C-alpha cells in the first residue's frame, strides 16, 4: 500500500463519518469547523487565538468569524492575554460545557452505530490505539501536542 493510499483512506473515513455527524451539527446550528473549534477550546482551560488557528488548521481570518459566532451564542469568551498584549485568549464558558456534553452524547450514539460493524470492542480499541501511535509518530520532531 502506498503512503498516498493511506492519505486517501483517511480522507474517505473522515468524509463518511462527517456525513453522519453533520446533520446533528446543523440541527444545533453549527458547522463542522465551529464544532471542531468548540471541541479544542473545551479541552483546554484557555488558549491563544494564534495557537487555536494552528491546531485547527483554520486560517486566522476565518477563525475570527467562527469565534465571533461562538461568542455571540455564549460558548466562548475572548480576553486579552495579560502576559502578551498582542495575544487574545479564548476560554470556554459553562454554556459550552453543558451544550457539548449533550451534543457529544448524540454524536457518540451516531458514531457507535456507524462503527458497529467493527464486531468487537477489542478491534475498536486496537484501531484507536494504532491511530494514537500514528499521531504520536507524525508529531515526533514536529513539536506538536494535542
pTM of the model: 0.81
- Written as one string, the DSSP assignment of 5-65 is HHHHHHHHHHHHHHHHHHHHHHHTT--HHHHHHHHHHHTSSEEEHHHHHHHHT--HHHHHH
39 part of a folded domain: yes
CATH number at residue 18: 1.10.10.10
- For 107-145, what is each residue's pLDDT tens digit? 999 988 888 887 677 888 888 899 899 889 888 866 556
12 falls within a domain: yes
Name the phi and psi angles at 99, rounded to 5: -60, -45
Q: Which domain holds residue 10?
A: 3-107
Report yes or no: 75 and 92 within 8 Å, Cβ to Cβ. Answer: yes
Mean pLDDT of the chain, nearest integer: 89
Structural domain total, the chain: 1
Quickly count: other Cβ atoms within 10 Å of residue 118's Cβ. Answer: 13
**Is there a domain that residue 134 lies in?**
no
Grouping H, G, I as helix, E, B as strand and the rest as coil, residue 76 is strand
Amino acid at each position: 500500500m502506498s503512503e498516498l493510499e493511506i492519505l486517501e483512506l483517511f480522507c474517505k473515513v473522515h468524509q463518511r463519518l462527517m456525513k453522519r455527524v453533520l446533520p446533528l451539527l446543523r440541527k444545533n446550528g453549527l458547522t463542522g469547523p465551529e464544532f471542531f473549534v468548540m471541541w479544542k477550546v473545551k479541552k483546554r482551560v484557555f488558549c491563544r487565538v494564534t495557537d487555536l488557528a494552528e491546531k485547527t488548521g483554520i486560517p486566522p481570518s476565518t477563525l475570527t468569524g467562527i469565534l465571533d459566532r461562538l461568542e455571540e451564542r455564549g460558548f466562548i469568551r475572548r480576553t486579552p492575554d495579560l502576559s502578551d498584549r498582542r495575544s487574545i485568549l479564548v476560554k470556554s464558558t459553562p454554556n459550552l460545557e453543558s451544550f457539548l456534553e449533550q451534543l457529544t452524547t448524540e454524536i457518540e450514539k451516531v458514531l457507535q452505530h456507524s462503527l458497529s460493524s467493527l464486531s468487537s470492542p477489542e478491534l475498536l480499541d486496537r484501531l484507536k490505539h494504532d491511530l494514537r501511535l500514528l499521531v504520536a509518530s507524525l508529531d515526533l520532531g514536529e513539536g506538536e501536542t494535542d
